[in-house]
């Protein structure tokens, strides 16, 4: 079956309500198409992909969340300055070194079990114990040890602070610190899997506004509203159907014809043309604290040579990528001054396309005739990664670097990142909390988190990152940020390309779509008119 026929079959199925979940009134059901869906129902599971962020955001509660605001263009965005209650109806600093949270007394998990502080304690213990991404995320907010977390009584939970950290409270509102049904998961835990990750990866153990009705990995996820949800206003939508449609052309056609309600994270060209066409609403927001970049594994020869990395950075086809891949729906992150002028991130690096300089650096590094390598890309975002890789391949060829392209399936990309053995790759990373030191803690720090795919380690940079995380003097903080940004440019383990727009196209009757830092859809705010 060719791509066009598959798209036609999907459109027909959706339009005629062949999917069982669509028996609900279309006014109460949202049909969404995405390039690549979730591979896990639990963000704590090893290898959980970015699509899982949106799933756990909707099926689990956290203690805290964020409010929203209206942007100058009339679109809606989360508001990082407005932290609000979710499962915790209130909280306060009960001492200089502790925060006490008071839980909603009527909150229940999807199976009807009351949510207690014991579940919160168990969930937090799990996050700091399982290792990998969730543990590192909690560490970013100085949430590191089980001894910090205390269930005072059924509806009172306390966090003991290891240190004064500006990120502790904001970190409680990101997707990772979910509250799980501890007794349910314990029934499925094993000696090898004491935290029940294998079971929760495939099953719903939440108490959020939506529950999982059905899931066929790689095809479709159906969410149903949980009518006993108490942590906010009950959502207007009773059903959400999220369908994996890898073809960007099919996703565009489905939303343009009105066969689906929302097409998420569309390629820039489609977003640009749909916005001009006027048949659907298109909203695009620059993703905070984010970059698409070309990364180089600094432990993989010849990329362990800084001059090779600089040569690659000068050989990249920056403007071609802006013109032919993102169609202007991004902010350029190249061609900036040699020294950082502000304590902000992202900001344009000093690199631009200069083939003469690239060839000179490559010769100085001992590779006057170039070398062979592999560019790895995430096929889960192929609409962007493939054309970028092709342009990079062509451009590197001009300085003698012969590159082949390895397309890693989207479901396997996180595992590939964790191996840290890719010599050259194209990827994106966005820091959930909008601070330069937070981005660098994840992306550059020598503790080697999953998003430091390059395995870059620089003790002098680490000192600046660590100091900036807890710095209270504004001038010192500014100098620290400028310092580690300059080091990142000089050593160039990753060459910044652009800051991307998160685009979504939707029917004109879809209301309440909101941009979120985790780059996923919060279905709780959406309605149809």
What does the pLDDT look like over 149-195, one tens digit per residue? 999 999 999 999 999 999 999 999 999 999 999 999 999 999 999 99
How far, rounded to the nearest angstrom, does the alpha carbon of residue 381 sit from its chain's CA centroid?
12
Angle at which helix 117-129 crosses helix 132-139, to 10 degrees, equals: 110
Helical H runs in 219-332? 248-257, 268-277, 306-315, 318-324
Rounded to two decimals, the pTM is 0.87
- Tell me: the pLDDT tens digits for 378-420? 999 999 999 999 999 999 999 999 999 999 999 999 999 999 9
DSSP count for the chain of H helices, then E strands:
17, 21
Element (H, E) at 81: strand 76-85
Omega prior to 302 cis, within 30 of 0:
yes
- Residue 474: which residues within 8 A CB-CB, separation 6 or more? none
The pLDDT value recorded for residue 301 is 98
Q: What is the CA radius of gyration of the chain?
A: 23
The reply to whether 3-261+507-528 and 290-501 are identical in fold is: no
All structural domains of the chain with their residue ranges? 3-261+507-528, 290-501
Query: What pLDDT is stored for residue 266 in this prediction?
Result: 87
Q: How confident is the model at residue 7 (pLDDT cuts 50, 70, 90)?
A: very low
What share of the chain in percent tops pLDDT 70?
95
Write out the two tokens for 165: 């950290």
At 217-258, the pLDDT tens digits run 999 999 999 999 999 999 999 999 999 999 999 999 999 999
pLDDT at 19 over 80: no
pLDDT reading at 17 higher than 80: no
State the Cα–Cα distance between residues 483 and 477, nearest whole angstrom.
10
Angstrom CA distances, 426 to 14, 146, 389, stand at 34, 37, 7
Phi, psi angles (nearest 5°) of residue 228:
-100, 15
- Domain 3-261+507-528 = CATH 3.40.50.620: no
pLDDT at site 291: 97
Whether the predicted pLDDT of 21 surpasses 60: no
In the beta sheet, which residues pair with residue 331? 499
CA 108 to chain centre: 28
Q: What's the pLDDT band for 10 if we cut at 50, 70, 90?
A: low
Nearest to 430 by CA among 219, 289, 275, 223: 289
Q: How far apart are CA 259 and CA 257, in angstroms?
A: 6
* Beta-carbon-side half-sphere exposure of residue 303 (alpha carbons within 13 Å): 27
- For domain 290-501, give the CATH number: 3.10.105.10
Phi and psi (nearest 5°) for 32?
A: -125, 140
- 459-469 and 436-443 helices cross at what angle (nearest 10)? 140
Q: What was the pLDDT predicted at 265? A: 82
* pLDDT tens per residue across span 449-491: 899 999 999 999 999 999 999 999 999 999 999 999 999 999 9
39's tokens = 């591979």
């Amino acid at each position: 079956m060719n791509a066009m026929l598959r798209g036609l079959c999907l459109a027909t199925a959706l339009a005629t309500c062949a999917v069982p979940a669509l028996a609900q009134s279309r006014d109460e059901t949202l049909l969404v198409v995405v390039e690549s869906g979730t591979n896990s129902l639990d963000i704590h599971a090893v290898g959980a992909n970015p699509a899982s962020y949106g799933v756990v955001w909707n099926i689990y509660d956290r203690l805290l969340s964020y409010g929203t605001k209206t942007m100058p263009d009339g679109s809606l965005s989360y508001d990082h300055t407005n932290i609000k209650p979710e499962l915790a109806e209130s909280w306060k600093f009960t001492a200089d070194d502790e925060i006490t949270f008071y839980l909603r007394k009527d909150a229940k998990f999807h199976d009807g079990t009351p949510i207690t502080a014991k579940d919160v304690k168990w969930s937090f213990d799990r996050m700091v114990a399982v290792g990998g991404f969730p543990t590192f995320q909690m560490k970013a907010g100085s949430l590191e040890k089980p001894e910090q977390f205390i269930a005072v009584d059924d509806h009172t939970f306390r966090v003991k602070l290891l240190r004064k950290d500006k990120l502790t409270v904001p970190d409680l509102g990101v997707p990772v610190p979910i509250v799980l049904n501890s007794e349910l998961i314990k029934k499925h835990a094993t000696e090898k899997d004491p935290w029940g990750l294998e079971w929760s990866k495939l099953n719903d153990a939440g108490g959020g506004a939506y529950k999982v009705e059905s899931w066929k990995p790689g095809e479709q996820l159906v969410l149903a509203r949980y009518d006993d949800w108490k942590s906010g206003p009950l959502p207007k939508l009773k059903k959400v159907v999220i369908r994996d449609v890898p073809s960007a052309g099919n996703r565009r056609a489905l939303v343009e014809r009105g066969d689906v309600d929302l097409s998420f994270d569309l390629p820039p060209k489609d977003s640009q043309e749909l916005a001009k066409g006027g048949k659907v609403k298109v909203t695009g927001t620059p993703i905070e604290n984010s970059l698409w970049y070309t990364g180089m594994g600094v432990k993989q020869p010849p990329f362990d040579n800084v001059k090779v990395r600089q040569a690659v950075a000068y050989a990249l086809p920056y403007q071609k990528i802006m013109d032919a891949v993102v169609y202007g729906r991004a902010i350029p992150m190249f061609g900036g001054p040699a020294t950082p002028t502000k304590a902000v991130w992202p900001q344009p690096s000093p690199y631009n396309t200069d083939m003469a300089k690239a060839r000179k650096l490559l010769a100085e590094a001992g590779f006057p005739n170039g070398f062979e390598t592999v560019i790895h890309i995430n096929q889960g975002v192929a609409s962007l990664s493939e054309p970028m890789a092709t342009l990079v391949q062509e451009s590197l060829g001009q300085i003698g670097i012969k590159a082949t392209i390895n397309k890693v399936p989207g479901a396997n990309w996180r595992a590939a990142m964790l191996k840290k053995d890719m010599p050259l790759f194209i990827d994106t990373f966005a820091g959930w909390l909008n601070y330069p030191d937070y981005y660098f803690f994840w992306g550059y720090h020598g503790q080697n988190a999953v998003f430091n795919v390059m395995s870059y380690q620089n003790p002098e940079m680490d000192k600046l990152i660590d100091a900036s995380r807890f710095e209270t003097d504004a001038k010192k903080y500014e100098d620290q940020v400028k310092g580690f940004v300059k080091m990142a440019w000089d050593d160039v383990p990753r060459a910044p390309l652009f800051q991307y727009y998160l685009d979504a196209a939707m029917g004109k009757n879809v209301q309440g779509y909101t941009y979120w830092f985790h780059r996923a859809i919060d279905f709780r705010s959406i309605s149809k008119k």
